[in-house]
Amino acid sequence: MSEYLNDPQIKGTYILAFKHYAKLRKYKKRQFKQSILDKLDMLQTNNPNDYWKCAHSLRENSKESPAKGIDGKDWFDYFTKLSSVPKSLNERIEQMNGNKTENNLNNNSSNLNFRTAFNELNAAICFPKNNKSAGMDGLCYEMFKYAQSFIVNCLHKLYNAVL
């Protein structure tokens, strides 16, 4: 397709094929969902005991919270390991620290130069809404909210050390 990007006939054929594929995919998805519902209806009429066992097991699985099985120590160890600096970067960090002292900026008017307050960090962790997508690092807001009591001190030290 990339070779014939400007060819209108190939482009039109591709667009039509893609539309047909999208429609077929939606149709198959609806058909699959309907087949599952039909099987559940048949199970309810033919074997009510198995139907209710299945319904109760699904209901119990949906009540679990995302952080239910994660121990606080595991959270702490994970974030401690995350904040450790790899040995391969130590030389680069020392070089950057040397540049920092050479280029010492005396701009104290910026809010970024002030130390981070502990209550400000707590408010920043509590504020975001749940069920939002994770960032590039794979960490979502819920992880910080559920582990707040364990990681706030580490984050506070980290943010102030960076300054």
Please tell me whether residues 156 and 94 are part of one structural domain: yes
Question: So what's the pLDDT on residue 61?
Answer: 58
The predicted-structure confidence for 79-103, as pLDDT tens digits, reads as follows: 888 877 777 777 777 777 776 555 5
Longest dimension (CA), the chain: 81
Residue 73 has pLDDT above 50, yes or no: yes
Alpha-carbon gap, residue 104 to 101, rounded angstroms:
5
Domain count, the chain: 2
Residue 116's contacts (CB-CB under 8 Å, 6 or more residues apart) are 156, 159, 160, 163
Please tell me whether residues 90 and 149 are part of one structural domain: yes
Q: Residue 82: name the closest of 146, 149, 143, 145 by CA.
A: 143
Q: In this structure, is residue 129 part of a structural domain?
A: yes
Alpha-carbon gap, residue 148 to 81, rounded angstroms:
17
User: How many degrees, rounded to 5, is the angle at CA 4 between CA 2 and CA 10?
Assistant: 115
Give the mean model confidence (pLDDT) for residues 107-129.
73
Retrieve residue 47's tokens: 């074997």
Alpha-carbon gap, residue 143 to 140, rounded angstroms:
6
Question: So what's the pLDDT on residue 24?
Answer: 94
Question: So what's the pLDDT on residue 103?
Answer: 53
Please tell me whether residues 154 and 79 are part of one structural domain: yes
Q: Mean pLDDT in the chain?
A: 78
pLDDT band at 138 (very low <50, low <70, confident <90, very high): confident
Q: Domain of 31? A: 8-62
Alpha-carbon gap, residue 54 to 57, rounded angstroms:
5
Residue 108 has pLDDT above 50, yes or no: no
Give the mean model confidence (pLDDT) for residues 126-153.
83
Please tell me whether residues 12 and 33 are part of one structural domain: yes
